[in-house]
Amino acid sequence: MSLLLASGLTDFLRDAVDLQVQVDAIGLGAIFALMAVGIGLVFGVLRLVNFAYGQLIMAGAFALAFASDRGWPVALGIALCFAVVIVLSLAMERAVFRPLRTQSPAVMLIATFAVAFLLQSIALLWFGPLGKTAASLAELNRPVTIGDVNIRKIAIVAIVTAALCLGLLVLLLNRTSLGLHMRAAAMDFQTARLVGVRANLVSAAAVLIAGVLAAVVAVLLTVQFPTVTPTFALRETIVVLAGVVVGGMTRLLSATLGGFTIGYVFGLLGGALPTAQSQYLSTFVFGLVILVLLVRPGGLFTRGRPAVERV
């Protein structure tokens, strides 16, 4: 028994340090980090947990599938994806987030829950439960050989894109006045308004940037999972939400790190565990989530006294 366990463990460790598994895990972590930024940015400014974020990605993915169905060129498909996601996010901000800005977090969370189900059921009505296929970028899913390991191109593309997006975001937040306003609003919305930050502008900006990131994620995810169904990205969103809270929602950096970490852990365990155990992957990961929350309810990557107190 212990021998079996030991050999299983060595197998696991061998697979875990495998470069291919590592790159895939980092790639997934990068995509999750982008989603975490999208969720964390909106939370920072509006104090609203956007459960419907996954459905924005789903809508973008359907736009890509629609374009590839029609045989449109790739660039046009991506443009359509961005347009759909951005219009949807702004509409969501105007119709749901803004009127609910003063409500309790629970009401806002359940409202975004409702929006999520609304979008999902519209997709179900429109495209059916089996969904469509987005195939125009499938070429990126092929591996390239570097040295003697095969690495899927999409993993590299995902890592580079995520790094680029995060770099641009850091520049925006730290080097422009809009970024300054957003950071001020995230710190203290009321005081920021008093000193002349325009509330509607920053909240629209946060939602817009989150929407752009959702479109990027839609493009990256459809390469890996070309079959787009109404529940596309739903699971990923739940996992990222958990990751964001585990990392610490109060700061964008800790939220992003949380998203990356949970994506990395998911990728690593999914790649290295044998099938008999990998079906219990969610149990492992969410068990870890509960453990971390119990030990550090304010977040894994936050400094100082936790903002959230235990009772």
Partner 1 sequence: MRVRRGILELGAPVALVIGAALLGVLVSRSTEIYFINALVAVSMVVAIYVFVGNSGVVSFGHISFVAVGVWAAGVLSVPEQEKPAFMPYLFDFLRDTTVGNVWSLLAAGVAAGVFALLVGLPLMRLSGLAAGIATFAVLEITNNILRYYEKVGPGLNTFSSVPETTDLRQAAIGAVVVIVAAFVYQRSRFGRQLRATREDPAAARAVGVSIYRQRLGAFALSGFLAGLAGGLYVHFLPINVDAVYLDLTFITLAMLVIGGSTSLWGAVVGALAVSALDSVLASAENGIDLLGRTVEVPAGTRIVVVSALMALVLILRPSGLTGGRELSFDPLWRMLRPS
- E strands, 76-232, are 132-133, 143-146, 149-152, 227-228
* Unique residue bearing structure tokens 């959230």: 308
Binding mask 178-207 for partner 1 (x = CB under 8 A): ------------------------------
SS3 104: coil
Pick one of 7, 121, 176, 191: the residue that binds partner 1 (CB under 8 A). Answer: 121
**The pair of three-digit structure tokens given for residue 165, joined into one six-digit string:** 């997006």
Q: Which stretch binds partner 1 (CB under 8 A): 19-27, 166-174, 181-189, 234-242?
A: 234-242
> Which of 241, 255, 257, 269 lies at the binding interface for partner 1 (CB under 8 A)?
241
Tell me how far, at minimum, the Cβ of 245 lies from partner 1, in Å. 4
Q: Which member of 105, 143, 167, 274 binds partner 1 (CB under 8 A)?
A: 105
SS3 content of the chain, % helix, strand, coil (to 5): 75, 5, 20
Q: Which stretch binds partner 1 (CB under 8 A): 10-18, 65-73, 239-247, 259-267?
A: 239-247
Please list every residue from 288 through 307 that binds partner 1, using CB under 8 A. 289-290, 293-294, 297-298
Query: Could you tell me how many residues make up the chain?
Result: 311
Q: Is 90 in the site for partner 1 (CB under 8 A)?
A: no
Nearer to partner 1, 21 or 244 (CB): 244
Contact 210, 89 (CB under 8 A): yes
Q: Which of 122, 164, 170, 187 binds partner 1 (CB under 8 A)?
A: 122
- 124: contact with partner 1 by CB under 8 A: yes
**CA 166 – CA 169 distance, rounded (Å):** 5
Reduced to 3 states (helix: H, G, I; strand: E, B; else coil), residue 89 is helix
CA distance linking residue 61 with residue 72, whole number of Å: 15
49 interacts with partner 1 by CB under 8 A: yes
Phi, psi angles (nearest 5°) of residue 151? -125, 130
Least separation in angstroms between CB 128 and partner 1: 9
Q: Is the dihedral of CA 260, 211, 290, 311 positive or negative?
A: positive
Q: How far is the CB of 247 from partner 1 (least distance, A)?
A: 11
Examine residue 274 and tell whether it contacts partner 1 (CB under 8 A): no
Q: Calculate the alpha carbon distances from 269 to 22, 34, 48 in Å.
A: 10, 20, 31
Q: What residues numbered 244-263 form the site for partner 1, per CB under 8 A? A: 245-246, 249
Q: Compute the least distance from the CB of residue 216 to partner 1, in Å.
A: 25
Q: Which stretch binds partner 1 (CB under 8 A): 8-16, 109-117, 179-187, 211-219?
A: 109-117
Nearer to partner 1, 121 or 176 (CB): 121
User: Could you give the CA distance from residue 192 to residue 189 in angstroms, rounded to a whole number?
Assistant: 5
**What tokens does 105 get?**
């977090």
Calculate the alpha carbon distances from 189 to 47, 173, 185 in Å: 9, 16, 4
Q: Does 224 bind partner 1 (CB under 8 A)?
A: no
Instruction: Please tell me the distance from the alpha carbon of residue 43 to that of residue 168, in angstroms, as a whole number.
Output: 19
Residues near partner 1 (CB under 8 A): 49, 95-96, 99-100, 103-107, 109-111, 113-115, 117-118, 121-122, 124-125, 234, 238, 241-242, 245-246, 249, 279-280, 282-283, 286-287, 289-290, 293-294, 297-298, 308-311
